[in-house]
Amino acid sequence: MLKLLIAGLFLIAVCSVVDAKPLAMRVWQFQDYNMEHIKRLIEMAAAQKVNRIQLSHEIVMDVEEPLGNPQLVKDINTICNWAHAKNIKVDMWTHELNGIPRDLMKDGKVNLDDPELWEFITGKYDRFFKMCSDVDGLVLTMQETAQSIYHDDKVASSISPEKRVARLIDDMAAVCKRFGKDFFVRTFSYEPQELKYILAGLAECKSDVIVMSKCVPHDWQPFYPYNPAIGNVGGKRQIVEFDLGHEFTGLSTIPYICIDYVKRHLDYDISKGIIGAVFRIERLKWRAVDTPNQAVIDVSTKLLLDPSADPHKLYKQWLAERYPKEAVPHLYSAFMRTPEIVEKGFFVLGFWVTNHSRLPSYDYARKSLYGRTTTKWDPSTKPIEQLLHNPTRETLAKITAEKNEALKQADAAINDIEKAKPYLAPKDYDYLAELFRREKAMVVVWKTAMEVSFGIDIFKSIKTEENRLFLAEAVDRLVKVAEENKSHLIKMASDYTNPNRTENYDRALELAELARKVLREL
């Protein structure tokens, strides 16, 4: 009976997606502060019937920035003019609490019981809307800011964390309402308890706000479960944020066609009643447009207009518009392998170790296994977490096997590109072949780096000659593969403003040196 009930509920959810109309809010988020680039993206957005854009990250993250920067004010107003000419609304990111003066602090904490504190906060946005009157909305984040309002070590208050959250939302919403602006509240947080405070604050607040949640809890980890905030915001309107700039999955320097991931999450989100989606289409100065990963943006944006569409059919059409039809089956095969290559290459048994798509240091990988553990959000992964926290050679064998599966797919993808070669223009073949060789290089280097990183833990725990020899050999392999793939490692780290970033290569050598130090000392 339970299985029948689950099947019935699933069928209802699927049917609701199939019958879904275009989502009301179709949003692209811009991060790269380059006015010529932004103007081009607005043209692209209009062509794909995007109806809102968000300005964030390198453009603006806090209201203090435009308040103290006349050029940024001018540029924001120019962006609004460009977007409004295309019937696209413009929303701006901000963080609170931020920029709080010392006289509104108490014992090193923000004094939330001081009425002048709240006047200071709302006053900032009052001044901002007078300077940038064409901005259509604000997007508030309460995490990754100077003082998170729900943290007792950052603020002094006589009221509970959720009531503080509600007060901040209501006060800022009142300013937005007075100026006729929309107000979005992000639920982004690091810890489950923080998310609970935000959701409780949303339930407590009286304002008509739009909730914005990532498709996953915390940050862009493809093995995280669905975000528990989705559909759990007390009936308020909600939109869901996706990362199509691939912050943790290659920064668009390697192919990553994650259309199944987007479709799965979007179907779930729509079943929970969302009214829109936000697509990050770049990561700072790493751009997905003009790379093969632009397909994910284009296909996903079409899904916002028709959630029942088949993303694979849309993707094949995208390929057919750019390459000879004879090449399409081979290219499709190659690109459909990229989720397995990237996810098994960058992550370890479903856990976060990679440093924002760049090779992690030993300390970063270890801290991530604890602080960013998948188990925090999905308790069923506890056994794997324990394996990674207390690794043995058997654990390492599982990790190596995972990387070998990614390598197998990488080789198959390269073979697919070779099959497509007779039908491709030489420049297209050269470009695609280089990308897939780079993707394989990532797996080769990350595999060896993980053997060294976990090999250090194993040798520290069990100081046998066998474990010492394994680590010493892994160190030699890491130096060798880093040197052999140096150009690929550099291009993986490089954005368009800095084509010579060597941090991946440097981190490989630093990890090798750390392991040698461990071997000498132990």
pLDDT digits (tens, 9 = 90+) for 392-429: 999 999 999 999 999 999 999 999 999 999 999 999 99
CA distance 266 to 224: 15
Q: How many helices (H) and strands (E) are present in the chain, helices listed first?
A: 19, 13
171 part of a folded domain:
yes
Does residue 221 sit in the same domain as residue 336?
no
Last residue of a domain, one of 287, 322, 357: 322
309 part of a folded domain:
yes
Does residue 353 sit in the same domain as residue 304?
no
Query: Does the bond joining 97 to the residue before it have cis omega, within 30 degrees of 0?
Result: yes
How far is Cα of residue 277 from the mean position of the Cα atoms in its chain?
A: 14
* CATH code, 207: 3.20.20.80
Sign of the CA dihedral with 213 first, then 218, 221, and 222 last:
negative
Does residue 427 sit in the same domain as residue 446?
yes
Number of alpha carbons in the 13 Å side-chain half-sphere of residue 109: 16
Last residue of a domain, one of 322, 356, 388: 322
CA distance 407 to 496: 28
Residue 9: Cβ-neighbour burial (10 angstroms; 0-12, 13-18, 19+): exposed
Does residue 304 sit in the same domain as residue 364?
no
Residues of the chain with pLDDT under 70: 1-20
188 part of a folded domain:
yes
Residue holding tokens 């997905």? 288
4 part of a folded domain:
no
3-state secondary structure of 86: coil
Last residue of a domain, one of 254, 288, 322: 322
pLDDT of residue 223: 98
Q: What is the DSSP letter of 143?
A: S
Answer for the pair 172, 183: CB distance below 8 angstroms, yes or no.
yes
Q: How far apart are the first and last CA of the chain?
A: 59
CA distance 385 to 391: 10
Angle between the 362-371 and 382-389 helix axes, to the nearest 10 degrees? 150
Phi/psi at 141 (nearest 5 deg)?
-115, 135
pLDDT digits (tens, 9 = 90+) for 235-259: 999 999 999 999 999 999 999 999 9
Amino acid at 437: R
3-state secondary structure of 404: helix
Residues forming beta bridges with residue 371, ordered by sequence position: none
Q: Which helix (H) or strand (E) holds 141?
A: strand 137-141
pLDDT of residue 20: 67
Does residue 183 sit in the same domain as residue 223?
yes
pLDDT of residue 497: 96
Does residue 405 sit in the same domain as residue 279?
no
Answer for the pair 378, 401: CB distance below 8 angstroms, yes or no.
no
Does residue 353 sit in the same domain as residue 311?
no
Does residue 306 sit in the same domain as residue 416?
no
Q: Label residue 445 left, alpha or beta by phi (over 0 means left) and psi (-120 to 50 means alpha).
A: alpha
Does residue 354 sit in the same domain as residue 456?
yes
Q: Where are the alpha helices (DSSP H) in 156-293?
A: 161-178, 192-204, 259-271
Q: Which helix (H) or strand (E) holds 128?
A: helix 115-131
User: How many independent structural domains does the chain possess?
Assistant: 2
CA distance 357 to 252: 10
CA distance 157 to 313: 55
CA distance 168 to 145: 14
Q: Which domain holds residue 130?
A: 24-103+120-144+165-322
Answer for the pair 255, 437: CB distance below 8 angstroms, yes or no.
no
339 part of a folded domain:
yes
How does 63-95 read in b/e, with b if 16+ C-beta sit within 10 Å? bbbbbeeeebbebbbebbebbeeeebbbbbbbb
Q: Which helix (H) or strand (E) holds 238?
A: strand 237-243
Answer for the pair 252, 297: CB distance below 8 angstroms, yes or no.
no
Does residue 341 sit in the same domain as residue 201?
no
CA distance 511 to 373: 22
pLDDT of residue 19: 56
SS (H, E, C) 448-478: HHHHHHHHHHHHHHCCCHHHHHHHHHHHHHH
**Cβ neighbour number for residue 400 with a 10 Å cutoff:** 15
CA distance 192 to 46: 37
**Cβ neighbour number for residue 370 with a 10 Å cutoff:** 12
Answer for the pair 338, 420: CB distance below 8 angstroms, yes or no.
no
Angle between the 503-521 and 486-493 helix axes, to the nearest 10 degrees? 120
43 part of a folded domain:
yes
Among residues 4, 69, 81, the alpha carbon closest in space to that of 38 is found at 81
Does residue 404 sit in the same domain as residue 280?
no
What tokens appear for 231 in the block? Answer: 């559909």
3-state secondary structure of 198: helix
pLDDT of residue 522: 81
Does residue 416 sit in the same domain as residue 316?
no
159 part of a folded domain:
no
CA distance 351 to 108: 36
Answer for the pair 472, 484: CB distance below 8 angstroms, yes or no.
no
113 part of a folded domain:
no
